[in-house]
């Protein structure tokens, strides 16, 4: 069977600046993967190429056995690729419920089916009590969850999460890790997460891909990566002291 | 047709095209400055041109000489710009859509004030330089030639300010990045004010200098708003001088050429349609992402 | 995942009170000709038609966030379409031909222009100025093609009859007769546009207005949605223009002028962009008031109107309907 997500030799140059170079990457359905790397390593660029927001210089992206490299952003979203942005992008002036509903249009018919799905999503993202509040009034962490909730309502099969725990308390971060594990284990959703928070990554226990200067420095489980000398050098003196 | 008549016709078009290019550049300059430097599309630009023409007419009626009338018109429109900027626009710089609607409201109010103050009758101003220059068998109206020259000189002067003086260079830095400009010691609020008022004064100057060529009525500036906008877009926003000149040349030049084969009205329509097509196919640098 | 509560449908107080208000307004309008006649009944259909024009913009601007300064271009095109159709000489069908032609022309032009521009990412102020240019172009074409349009002097349009097939023909020459044609058409367009704005399509338009990038990333081809919204708006505006031509029995190039295009924007801004009833009443009310006050003091009224417009932009983004809606919501909060 074809791989769920297979990326080969993906390269992106911004006017000579190498943001990604020859990145190979595969993911099975329901897999979780962390991407780490210092600032400017090319992590956001990498998932932007998967979601279609950045057009690669060269390389190929296959999703569910299909070459999606030339496909548009909305086309990929309809195929099941959901993207959460580094700064949360939600509909600020709409209520939480309206946000979720908008995301479910086209995936869930109006009426009981849609309302059931919305209820499910609100519960998963712990936003039930805020359903009729404008998204603007949510805390930063809740906005992150709302955005994830929208992707669930949108029936994404692959979630691309850019720093989902930024701005979250320790408790919220922990809950986010639990949510991600649930989504993968119970719903079979594949998830790629860009993260800096070392506790979160350990908590998650998922395999890690390290990007550095646009290239894959190494891939492996958390323990192997955190003990690797190259990786420690890249993060020299940073938060990677554990 | 003999070769000579063909040559004659082409030369005639070239002369007309040159004159119209500089007149359009003059009309568009205020809009280009305000749009290009502080990102405000001044929908009242057309009304400010009209106001400049009426101020000139009023001064001449009061017996002032033409040159002085032009100066008064520039100052008058500049003052209107200052009042408007201080009372309204400065509170909305970070909301482009609101400034668009506000300046449009201003357009309505200015147009009505003009009607109240000057009436709706068509006014004309006699050309200050009625004679024509004989050139290769053509008669080029002296006054229009003078306006073209003044327009070229103005472009040059603005170029000197922006590219040679340190204040001009800082203002251009402001376009790139507000914070950096603030760090360079630029008073951002004051600079915005100066730019907006300068744009108003340029509109006033355009109206004043064009007034002897136009039949002045309270809506005469409307068409210049759209024309100037297309000049700025086609030329490229932010390319203050080159862009304005290139845009004027393209818009004015095609207007002249189409005008030679059909009525001016049809030519105008074709030029607008072409400008829309150009606008669509030149999205890079033209459309700022939100 | 099984024992979660479904979300109850959102309580929409403002929508329900808008429905109530709409019923009252339309009931009063329906009864009016029974109580009075004369000038009011003669002129009201024209204001209703302006209200329809305002709704065409209200849907576009208020819901999709696309401001068009070119609604007058479509309106004028519709009136010319009616005028030309009445000259076509198909007898009883001429009026219908005019209405149909207006819908086709309005939708077709808006679709072409909309797709051409939206697919390239043209938006905001650029779209505003292009639509402004559009109305100038329509006006100039109307002026220059005088053999077809009558040029500056305009064109007289015989009023259409309502041909009902075997039931015969109803003359619309009487004020009450055309009133009772225009009113139900207005109600139908209001109801249709409201349904549209509350449908999934309408919700996606709101998404585009609020955050186009997010809407795109959720899988909606936003340029198509915008194109369709503009197409519907153009069709409605053009249809309204055809009705206007039939009612006024006259069309001239000033119908496509910048001034008239602007007036539509003012109606909608004052009435309230995010309420179709607000837009309708804005068109109806401001046009009626303009007509009345124009008689008293034309220039000063226009000046005041400009002032109101600026005030609305600064202070009441939602227009009158928005302000009322907030008032109702506050009351409900106090009671609830
Ligand atoms: N649109 C763009 N144009 C030009 N350069 C870009 C663009 N987007 C990213 N870059 C550059 O590409 C490189 C990689 O950026 P990217 O945002 O992918 O890094 P990142 O790993 O996500 O960093 P961070 O941890 O800070 O979010 C950086 O040097 C960045 O400046
Ligand atoms: Mg990043």
Q: Quick check: B239 pLDDT over 80? A: no
| pLDDT mean over B108-119 | 92
- Overall pTM > 0.80: yes
Domains of chain B are 13-281 (1.10.3470)
Quote the minimal CA–CA distance from C120 to chain B in Å.
Answer: 6
Element (H, E) at A127: none
pLDDT number for residue C10 = 42
Query: Which of A10, A11, A13, A14 for mutating ligand 1's site (highest number of atoms within 8 Å of CB)?
Result: A14
Q: How many CB atoms lie within 10 A of CB B220?
A: 22
Q: What is the pLDDT, as a whole number, of residue C239? A: 98
User: What confidence score (pLDDT) does residue B167 get?
Assistant: 84
pLDDT one-digit tens code per residue, A74-86: 999 999 999 999 9
Is the CB of A19 within 6 Å of ligand 1? yes
Determine the pLDDT at residue C6: 52
Task: From chain A, pick out residues whose CB is under 8 angstroms from the CB of C215.
Answer: 102
State which H helix or E strand residue A24 sits in: strand A17-27
Query: How far apart (Å, rounded) are the C-alpha atoms in residues C240 and A187?
Result: 52
Q: Answer left, alpha or beta for residue B90, where phi above 0 means left and psi between -120 and 50 means alpha.
A: alpha
A120 and C4 within 8 Å at the Cβ level: the answer is: yes
Report the chain B residue with the minimal C-alpha distance to residue C304.
B109
Q: Are B38 and B90 in contact (CB under 8 A)?
A: no
**Interval B132-169: pLDDT, tens:** 888 777 788 899 999 999 999 999 998 888 888 888 88
Distance from CA of C112 to the nearest CA of A (A): 22
Token pair recorded at residue B23: 């007149």
Q: How many CA atoms lie within 13 A of A10 on its CB side?
A: 32
B: neighbours with 3+ CB pairs under 8 Å? C
Flag if B112 and C299 touch (Cβ within 8 Å). Answer: yes
User: Å from C288 to nearest chain B CA?
Assistant: 19
Chain A residue with minimum CA distance to C1 = A120
pLDDT for position B1 = 57
Q: What is the CB neighbour count within 10 angstroms for residue A237?
A: 7
The top-scoring range by mean pLDDT among B19-23, B70-74, C90-94, C295-299 is: B70-74
Q: Is A45 in the pocket of ligand 1 (CB under 6 A)?
A: yes
Please give the pLDDT value at position C1: 40
C-alpha–C-alpha distance, residues B192 and B93, integer Å: 9
Average pLDDT of chain B, as a whole number: 87
The predicted structure's pLDDT at residue B287: 32
The residue behind tokens 């420690």 is A232
Q: What is the mean pLDDT of residues A199-214?
A: 93
Residue position matching structure tokens 């003059």: B26
Q: What is the pLDDT of residues A182-201, one digit of tens each?
A: 999 999 999 999 998 888 99
Residue A177 has pLDDT above 50, yes or no: yes
Query: Which of the residues in chain C have pLDDT under 70?
Result: 1-15, 298-299, 317-318, 329-336
Q: What is the C-alpha to C-alpha distance for residues C288 and C302, in angstroms, rounded to an integer?
A: 13
Least confident range from A60-74, A216-230, B273-287, C92-106: namely B273-287
Nearest CA in chain A to C210: A91
Nearest protein Cα to ligand 1, atom 1: A14
Partnered with residue A209 across adjacent β-strands are A35, A219
- For B122, other C-beta atoms within 10 Å of its C-beta total 11
Instruction: Pick the residue of A63, A71, A73, A124 with the most C CBs within 10 A to test the interface with C by mutation.
Output: A73
* Residue of higher predicted confidence among B174 and C19: C19
Residue A216 bridge partners (DSSP): A211
Cα–Cα distance measured from residue C251 to residue C272, given in angstroms and rounded to the nearest whole number? 28
- Ligand 1 atom closest to Cα of residue A41: 21
List, in order, residues 6 or more apart from C280 with CB less than 8 Å away.
C51, C52, C54, C55, C58, C186, C190, C271
CA nearest ligand 1 atom 8, residue: A45
Burial of A162 (0-12, 13-18, 19+ CB in 10 A): buried
Locate C227 and state its tokens. 């194109």
Q: Which ligand 1 atom lies nearest to the CA of residue A20?
A: 14
Four-point Cα dihedral B260, B263, B269, B275, nearest 10: 10
């Amino acid at each position: 069977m074809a791989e769920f997500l297979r990326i080969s030799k993906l390269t992106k140059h911004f006017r000579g600046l190498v943001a990604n170079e020859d990145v190979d990457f595969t993911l099975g359905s329901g897999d979780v993967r962390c991407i780490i790397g210092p600032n400017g390593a090319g992590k956001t660029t990498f998932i932007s190429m998967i979601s279609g927001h950045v057009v690669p210089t060269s390389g190929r992206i296959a999703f569910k056995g299909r070459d999606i490299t030339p496909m548009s952003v909305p086309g990929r979203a309809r195929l099941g690729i959901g993207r959460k942005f580094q700064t949360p992008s939600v509909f600020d002036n709409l209520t939480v419920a309206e946000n979720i509903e908008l995301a479910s249009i086209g995936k869930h018919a109006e009426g009981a089916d849609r309302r059931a799905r919305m209820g499910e999503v609100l519960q998963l993202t712990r936003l039930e009590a805020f359903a009729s509040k404008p998204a603007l009034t949510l805390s930063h962490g809740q906005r992150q969850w709302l955005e994830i909730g929208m992707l669930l309502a949108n029936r994404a099969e692959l979630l691309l999460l850019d720093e989902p725990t930024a701005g979250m308390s320790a408790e919220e971060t922990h809950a986010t890790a639990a949510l991600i594990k649930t989504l993968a284990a119970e719903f079979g959703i594949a998830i790629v997460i860009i993260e800096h928070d070392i506790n979160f990554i350990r908590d998650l226990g998922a395999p890690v891909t390290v990007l550095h200067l646009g290239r894959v420095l190494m891939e492996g489980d958390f323990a192997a990566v955190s003990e690797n000398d190259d990786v420690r050098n890249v993060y020299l003196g940073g938060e990677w002291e554990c | 047709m003999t070769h000579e008549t063909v040559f004659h016709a082409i030369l005639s078009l070239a002369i007309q095209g040159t004159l119209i290019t500089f007149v359009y550049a003059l009309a568009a300059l205020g809009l280009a400055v305000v749009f290009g430097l502080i990102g405000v599309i001044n929908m009242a630009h057309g009304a400010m041109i009209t106001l400049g023409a009426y101020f000139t007419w009023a001064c001449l009626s009061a017996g002032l000489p033409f040159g002085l009338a032009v100066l008064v018109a520039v100052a008058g429109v500049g003052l209107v710009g200052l009042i408007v900027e201080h009372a309204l626009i400065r509170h909305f710089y970070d909301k482009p859509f609101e400034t668009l609607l506000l300046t449009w409201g201003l357009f309505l109010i200015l147009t009505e004030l003009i009607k109240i103050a000057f009436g709706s009758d068509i006014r004309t101003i006699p050309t200050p330089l009625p004679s024509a220059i004989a050139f290769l068998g053509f008669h080029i109206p002296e006054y229009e030639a003078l306006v073209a020259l003044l327009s070229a000189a103005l472009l040059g002067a603005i170029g000197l300010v922006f590219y040679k003086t340190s204040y001009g260079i800082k203002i251009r830095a402001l376009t790139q990045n507000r914070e950096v400009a603030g760090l360079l010691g630029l008073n951002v609020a004051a600079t915005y004010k100066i730019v907006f008022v300068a744009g108003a004064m340029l509109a006033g100057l355009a109206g004043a200098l064009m007034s002897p060529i136009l039949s002045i009525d309270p809506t005469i500036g409307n068409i210049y708003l759209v024309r100037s906008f297309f000049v700025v877009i086609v030329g490229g926003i932010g390319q203050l001088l080159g862009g304005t000149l290139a845009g004027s040349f393209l818009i004015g030049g095609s207007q002249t050429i189409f005008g030679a084969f059909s009525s001016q009205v049809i030519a105008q329509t074709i030029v607008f349609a072409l400008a829309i097509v150009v606008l669509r196919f030149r999205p890079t640098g033209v459309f700022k992402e939100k | 995942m099984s024992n979660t509560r479904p979300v109850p449908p959102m309580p929409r107080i403002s929508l329900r009170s808008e429905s109530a208000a709409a019923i009252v307004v339309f009931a009063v309008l329906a009864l009016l000709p029974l109580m009075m006649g004369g000038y009011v009944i003669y002129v009201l259909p024209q204001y209703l038609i302006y209200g329809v024009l305002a709704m065409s913009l209200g849907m576009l601007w208020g819901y999709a966030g696309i401001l068009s300064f070119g609604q007058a271009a479509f309106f004028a095109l519709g009136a010319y379409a009616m005028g030309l159709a009445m000259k076509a000489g198909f007898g009883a069908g001429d009026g219908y031909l005019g209405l149909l032609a207006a819908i086709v022309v309005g939708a077709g032009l808006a679709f072409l222009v909309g797709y051409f521009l939206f697919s390239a990412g043209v938006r905001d102020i650029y779209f505003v100025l292009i639509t402004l240019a559009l109305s100038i172009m329509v006006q100039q074409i109307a002026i220059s093609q005088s053999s077809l349009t009558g040029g500056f002097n305009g064109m007289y349009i015989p009023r259409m009859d309502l041909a009902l097939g075997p039931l015969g023909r109803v003359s619309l020459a009487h004020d009450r007769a055309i009133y009772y044609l225009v009113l139900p058409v207005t109600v139908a367009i209001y109801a249709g546009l409201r349904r549209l704005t509350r449908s999934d399509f309408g919700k996606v338009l709101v998404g585009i207005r609020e955050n186009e990038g997010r809407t795109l990333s959720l899988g909606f081809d936003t340029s198509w949605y915008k194109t369709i919204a503009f197409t519907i708006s153009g069709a409605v505006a053009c249809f309204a223009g055809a009705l206007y031509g039939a009612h006024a029995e006259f069309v001239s190039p000033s119908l496509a002028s910048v001034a008239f295009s602007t007036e539509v924007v003012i109606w909608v801004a004052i009435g309230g962009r995010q309420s179709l009833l607000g837009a309708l009443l804005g068109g109806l009310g401001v046009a009626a008031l303009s007509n009345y006050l124009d008689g008293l003091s034309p220039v000063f009224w226009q000046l005041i109107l400009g002032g109101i417009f600026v005030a609305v932009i600064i202070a009441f983004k939602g227009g009158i309907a928005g302000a009322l809606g907030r008032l109702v919501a506050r009351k409900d909060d106090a009671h609830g």
